[in-house]
């Protein structure tokens, strides 16, 4: 049986002459590969629309770039940025957010947290594999002013493993304040290379004292 | 008496016939099947490093005429034909060789049926490749959803907002913008008072504040942010596309650059005169023809592990005020109106006791959903006929042999 025994039809032009059948087939295959060579259009008229869905809630209008890309909420605490620190955009977890130190690795941030003061202190110590405190140990921590109230001063150093699964960073140190402000836990945390944290500790303590609660 | 020259008396074989013989030949079929085996093996190795989606695209997308495999991250400089085209050629080969060229007769009918079954399978693969859609629908216990989100496609949406409610939502599809890494394209909205110019599309990118990190490569800055390109994620669903857009007025004047990013929490708001519009980039939403309510979700795990044993979602489908209850669990999807809902996962991750759960369904719209099953039945019928025919012919020949003896 020959190929010429089978009628091969074009898309809209009836039966193709037998001698042309195999060539027509090859031409068809070649045509199929042409779309990838088409020049992309410089202009497109948008005609597609979609129906409303259960996901189409009232949009947040006039969101700032920080709100659009970091979901930053207006901070309930305010402070002036200390000299030498760099204010960076807030995030969901960091109400106020800074970088410090020559290495660019030093970080300071202010958060409102859940749990108790002891829970938060021990969570921080756990990030440095330090011995956790009990109530007595907590009461022995130095008391420092923060936002018109008082909190406890926490320090630690060693390998810092607070990076959500990131490898531990050796040679790091922690300094910070944890306070219970009427049931809300306010934390000011500084983490960075040991030497840079040692230098910036005084500034951190002044900074915590200068925090004010927004009305 | 001279012996006639047989070669000279034989009619010359035309080029068309030679091509037909090659296309329908057993040799080509064997080579293509071997190639498919090799491609599948190489793709299996490569997907460990490159991720499943990227590897499937590289090896089996219709745009891949040829591929250069990679083993352990190193390119092997041996070009191989793309899997799509190998399958396409195999389909042609089976159609020509296994159906047209095959000797016709009663004995060949089972063969033809079996070949037809495999052709259905291959064509079904092509239909799935070109026309199927996949997404996920997440719904919490006691909640109702009518929308699935595409796994991979990012679109740009523009809509007017009146009384804090979105009006008609205009959609620029992913295929219209995903080539705009180094190109610019104007998108005209006949129903809106402005157009959009889009450029700088990145498949996976993060908006970075200039105060966090200064741009390395002179990236365009918009309101203190720029787009930092990231390598594609192994799990391609986790990619967050982004692009730059400019509002183009009807008189041709252009506004400043706007960042539209999949990794954003809120849309960009545009005030145009006294009207308000939002521009957003998000994964494409497709609306289901019915509402799905999750009544109850239960998850069971193998003892002492996080390996899932059983996920069960009890749902109610509501369409035109008619309700129908259904259960969706692993390997028991819900099929309705051309859509298939597979139990995919649940959340939130690490949920504690008493915490409200949500169930995630993979939603598949595939016109060729059942074709593999049909193909299987056709092949089974073909093979069954083949065996029965052989058996009958054997018994007949044995019987006539004994009779003659």
With 90 as the cut, is the pLDDT of residue A71 above it?
Answer: no
Number of neighbours of residue B350 by Cβ within 10 angstroms? 7
Block residue for tokens 């039966």: A15
Give yes or no for a contact between B327 and B294, defined as CB atoms under 8 angstroms apart.
no
The answer to whether B285 contacts chain A (CB < 8 Å) is yes
Question: Average pLDDT, stretch B374-394?
Answer: 94
In this predicted model, what pLDDT tens digit does every residue of B273-326 receive, in sequence order?
Answer: 999 999 999 999 988 889 999 999 887 777 766 566 788 999 999 998 899 999
**pLDDT-derived band at A7, boundaries 50, 70, 90:** very low
Give yes or no for a contact between A18 and B16, defined as CB atoms under 8 angstroms apart.
no
Q: What is the DSSP string of chain A?
A: --GGGS--B-SSS-BPPGGGHHHHHHHHHHHHTGGGGSPPPSEEE---EE---TT-PPP-TT--HHHHHH-PPPPSEE-PPPTT-EEE---SS-SEEEEESTTS-EEEEEEEE-S-HHHHHHHHHHTTTPPPP-HHHHHTSPEEEETTEEEEEEEEEEEE--STTPPPEEEEEEEEEEEEETTEEEEEEEEEEHHHHHHHHHHHHHHHHH-EE--
pLDDT given for residue B4 in this prediction: 47
For A52, which of B145, B166, B209 is closest by C-beta distance?
B166
Q: What percent of chain B shows pLDDT beyond 70? A: 94
- Mutation target for B interface from A54, A60, A114: give the one with most B CBs within 10 A: A54
The answer to whether B306 contacts chain A (CB < 8 Å) is no
Euclidean distance between CA atoms B188 and B58, whole angstroms: 33
pLDDT given for residue B10 in this prediction: 66
Which of chain B's residues have a Cβ under 8 Å away from the Cβ of A96?
Answer: none
Per DSSP bridges, beta strands A43-45 and B184-188 are parallel
The answer to whether B147 contacts chain A (CB < 8 Å) is yes
B165 and A63 within 8 Å at the Cβ level: the answer is no
Task: Report the residue of chain B nearest A107, measured CA to CA.
Answer: B212
**pLDDT, averaged across chain B:** 89
Nearest C-alpha of chain A: how many angstroms from B192? 10
Higher pLDDT, B51 or A80: A80
CB-side neighbour CA atoms (13 Å) of A85:
23
The answer to whether A38 contacts chain B (CB < 8 Å) is no
Interior angle at CA B316, CA B329 and CA B333, nearest 5: 25
User: Which of A71-75, A194-198, B227-231 shows the lowest mean pLDDT across its residues?
Assistant: A71-75
In this predicted model, what pLDDT tens digit does every residue of A132-176 receive, in sequence order?
Answer: 999 999 999 999 999 889 999 999 999 998 755 567 889 999 999
For A43, which of B188, B207, B259 is closest by C-beta distance?
B188
Nearest C-alpha of chain A: how many angstroms from B398? 33
Closest CA to B311 of B354, B353, B343, B340: B343
**pLDDT-derived band at A26, boundaries 50, 70, 90:** low
Structural domains of chain A in order of their starting residue, each with its CATH number: 11-37 (no CATH), 71-213 (3.40.1000.10)
pLDDT given for residue B103 in this prediction: 83
Q: What is the DSSP string of B257-321?
A: -EEEESS-SSPEEEEETTEEEEEEEEEEEEEEEEEEEEEEEEEEE-TTS--EEEEEEEEEEEETT
Q: What share of chain B is helix, strand, coil (3-state, %, to 5)?
A: 35, 40, 30
In this predicted model, what pLDDT tens digit does every residue of A86-132 receive, in sequence order?
Answer: 888 887 778 899 999 998 899 999 988 878 899 899 989 988 989 99
Per the confidence metrics, is the pTM higher than 0.90?
A: no
Number of neighbours of residue A89 by Cβ within 10 angstroms? 21
Q: For residue A203, which phi and psi values (nearest 5 degrees)?
A: -60, -40
Q: Could you say which residues from 8 to 37 on chain A have a Cβ atom under 8 Å away from some Cβ of chain B?
A: 19, 21-23, 25-26, 33, 36
Number of neighbours of residue A205 by Cβ within 10 angstroms? 19
pLDDT given for residue B306 in this prediction: 58
Q: Could you say which residues from 164 to 193 on chain B have a Cβ atom under 8 Å away from some Cβ of chain A?
A: 164-166, 168-173, 176, 179, 183-190
**pLDDT, averaged across chain A:** 81
**pLDDT-derived band at A28, boundaries 50, 70, 90:** low
Euclidean distance between CA atoms A62 and B278, whole angstroms: 9
With 50 as the cut, is the pLDDT of residue A5 above it?
Answer: no
For B171, which of A48, A54, A69 is closest by C-beta distance?
A48
Q: What is the DSSP string of B158-195?
A: EEEEETTEEEEEEEE-HHHHTT-SS-EEEEE-TTSSEE
The answer to whether B152 contacts chain A (CB < 8 Å) is no
In this predicted model, what pLDDT tens digit does every residue of B96-117 receive, in sequence order?
Answer: 998 888 888 888 899 999 999 9
Nearest C-alpha of chain A: how many angstroms from B1? 34
* Domain boundary assignment for chain B: 14-101, 135-146+287-365, 151-285
Which tokens in the block code for residue A87? 């204010």
Task: Report the residue of chain A nearest B101, measured CA to CA.
Answer: A1
- Would you say the ipTM is above 0.90? no
With 80 as the cut, is the pLDDT of residue B234 above it?
Answer: no
Block residue for tokens 């958060």: A111
Higher pLDDT, B391 or A21: B391
Question: Average pLDDT, stretch A191-214?
Answer: 93
Rg of chain B on CA atoms, in Å: 29
Q: For residue A130, which phi and psi values (nearest 5 degrees)?
A: -85, 160
Number of neighbours of residue B193 by Cβ within 10 angstroms? 13
Give yes or no for a contact between B197 and B248, defined as CB atoms under 8 angstroms apart.
yes
Closest CA to B299 of B257, B234, B350: B350
Euclidean distance between CA atoms A15 and A21, whole angstroms: 9
Give yes or no for a contact between B336 and B365, defined as CB atoms under 8 angstroms apart.
no
Q: What percent of chain B shows pLDDT beyond 90? A: 60
Q: Could you say which residues from 250 to 279 on chain B have a Cβ atom under 8 Å away from some Cβ of chain A?
A: 259, 261, 263-269, 276, 278
Q: For residue B301, which phi and psi values (nearest 5 degrees)?
A: -125, 155
Question: Average pLDDT, stretch B143-169?
Answer: 94
pLDDT given for residue B385 in this prediction: 94
Exposed e or buried b per residue across B230-263, where buried means at least 16 C-beta atoms within 10 angstroms of its C-beta: eeeeeebeebbbbbbbbbbeeeeeeeebbbbbbb
In this predicted model, what pLDDT tens digit does every residue of B293-308 receive, in sequence order?
Answer: 999 988 777 776 656 6
The answer to whether A215 contacts chain B (CB < 8 Å) is no
Q: What's the residue count for chain B? A: 405
Give yes or no for a contact between A119 and A154, defined as CB atoms under 8 angstroms apart.
no
With 90 as the cut, is the pLDDT of residue B269 above it?
Answer: yes
Give yes or no for a contact between B16 and A22, defined as CB atoms under 8 angstroms apart.
yes
Per DSSP bridges, beta strands B144-162 and B165-172 are antiparallel
Which of chain B's residues have a Cβ under 8 Å away from the Cβ of A60?
Answer: 265-267
Using CB atoms within 10 A of its CB, is residue B102 exposed (0-12), middle (13-18) or buried (19+)?
middle
B166 and A59 within 8 Å at the Cβ level: the answer is yes
- Strand ranges inside B173-251, DSSP E: 184-188, 194-202, 205-209, 225-229, 242-249
Interior angle at CA B231, CA B230 and CA B232, nearest 5: 115
Which tokens in the block code for residue B338? 């051309």
B185 and A41 within 8 Å at the Cβ level: the answer is yes
Euclidean distance between CA atoms A96 and A136, whole angstroms: 31
Euclidean distance between CA atoms A50 and B54, whole angstroms: 28
Exposed e or buried b per residue across B7-29, where buried means at least 16 C-beta atoms within 10 angstroms of its C-beta: eeeeeeeeebeebbbebbeeebb
**Chain A to chain B, count of Cβ pairs less than 8 Å apart?**
145
The answer to whether A209 contacts chain B (CB < 8 Å) is no
Name every residue whose Cβ is closer than 8 Å to that of residue A86 and which is 6 or more positions away in sequence: A98, A99, A100, B211
Please, what is the angle between helix B83-93 and helix B52-60, to 10°?
A: 50
Name every residue whose Cβ is closer than 8 Å to that of residue B55 and which is 6 or more positions away in sequence: B43, B46, B47
Task: Report the residue of chain A nearest B259, measured CA to CA.
Answer: A65
A46 and B170 within 8 Å at the Cβ level: the answer is yes
């Amino acid at each position: 049986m020959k190929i010429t025994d089978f009628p091969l039809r074009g898309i809209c032009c009836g039966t193709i002459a037998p001698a042309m059948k195999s060539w027509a087939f090859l031409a068809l295959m070649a045509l199929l590969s042409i779309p990838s060579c088409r020049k992309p259009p410089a202009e497109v008229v948008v005609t597609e629309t979609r129906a409303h869905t259960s996901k189409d809630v009232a949009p947040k209008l006039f969101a700032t770039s920080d709100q659009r890309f970091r979901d930053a909420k207006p901070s309930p605490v305010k402070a002036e940025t200390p000299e030498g620190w760099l204010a960076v955009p807030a995030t969901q977890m960091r109400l106020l957010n800074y970088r410090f130190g020559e290495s660019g690795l030093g970080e300071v941030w202010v958060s409102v947290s859940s749990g108790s003061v002891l829970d938060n202190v021990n969570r921080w110590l756990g990030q440095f594999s330090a011995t956790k405190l009990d109530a007595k140990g907590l009461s022995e921590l130095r008391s420092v002013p923060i936002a018109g109230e008082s909190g406890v001063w926490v320090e630690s150093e060693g390998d810092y493993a607070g990076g959500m699964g990131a490898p531990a960073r050796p040679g790091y140190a922690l300094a910070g304040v944890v306070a219970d402000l009427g049931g809300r836990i306010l934390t000011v945390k500084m983490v960075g290379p040991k030497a840079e944290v040692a230098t910036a500790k005084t500034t951190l303590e002044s900074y915590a004292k200068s925090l004010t609660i927004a009305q | 008496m001279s012996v006639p020259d047989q070669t000279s008396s034989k009619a010359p074989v035309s080029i068309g016939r030679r091509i037909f013989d090659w296309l329908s030949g057993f040799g080509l079929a064997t080579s293509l099947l071997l190639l498919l085996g090799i491609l599948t093996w190489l793709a299996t190795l490569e997907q460990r490093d490159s991720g499943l989606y990227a590897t499937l695209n590289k090896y089996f997308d219709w745009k891949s005429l040829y591929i250069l495999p990679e083993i352990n991250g190193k390119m092997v400089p041996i070009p191989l034909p793309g899997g799509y085209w190998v399958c396409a050629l195999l389909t042609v080969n089976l159609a020509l060789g296994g159906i047209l060229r095959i000797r016709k007769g009663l004995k060949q009918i089972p063969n033809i049926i079996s070949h037809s079954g495999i052709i259905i399978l291959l064509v079904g693969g092509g239909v799935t490749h070109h026309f199927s859609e996949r997404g996920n629908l997440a719904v919490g216990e006691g909640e109702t959803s009518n929308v699935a989100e595409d796994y991979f496609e990012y679109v740009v949406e523009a809509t007017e907002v009146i009384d804090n409610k979105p009006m008609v939502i205009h959609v620029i599809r992913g295929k219209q913008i995903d080539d705009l890494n180094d190109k610019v394209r104007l998108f005209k909205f006949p129903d809106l008072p402005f157009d959009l110019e889009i450029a700088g599309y990145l498949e996976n990118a993060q908006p970075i504040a200039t105060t966090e990190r200064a741009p390395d490569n002179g990236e365009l800055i918009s309101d203190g942010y720029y787009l930092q390109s990231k390598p594609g994620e192994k799990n391609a669903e986790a990619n967050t596309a982004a692009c730059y857009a400019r509002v183009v007025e009807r008189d041709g004047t252009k506004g400043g650059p706007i960042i539209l990013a999949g990794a954003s929490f809120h849309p960009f708001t545009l005030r145009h005169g006294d009207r308000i519009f939002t521009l957003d980039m998000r994964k494409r939403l497709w609306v289901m023809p019915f509402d799905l309510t999750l009544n109850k979700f239960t998850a069971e795990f193998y003892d002492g592990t996080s390996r899932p044993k059983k996920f069960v979602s009890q749902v109610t489908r509501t369409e035109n005020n008619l309700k129908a209850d259904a259960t969706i669990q692993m390997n028991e999807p819900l099929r309705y109106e051309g859509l298939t809902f597979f139990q995919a996962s649940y959340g939130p991750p690490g949920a504690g006791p008493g915490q409200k759960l949500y169930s995630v369904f993979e939603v598949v719209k595939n016109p060729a959903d059942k074709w593999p099953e049909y193909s299987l039945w056709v092949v089974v019928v073909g093979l069954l006929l083949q065996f029965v025919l052989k058996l009958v012919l054997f018994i007949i020949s044995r019987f006539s042999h004994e009779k003659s003896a």
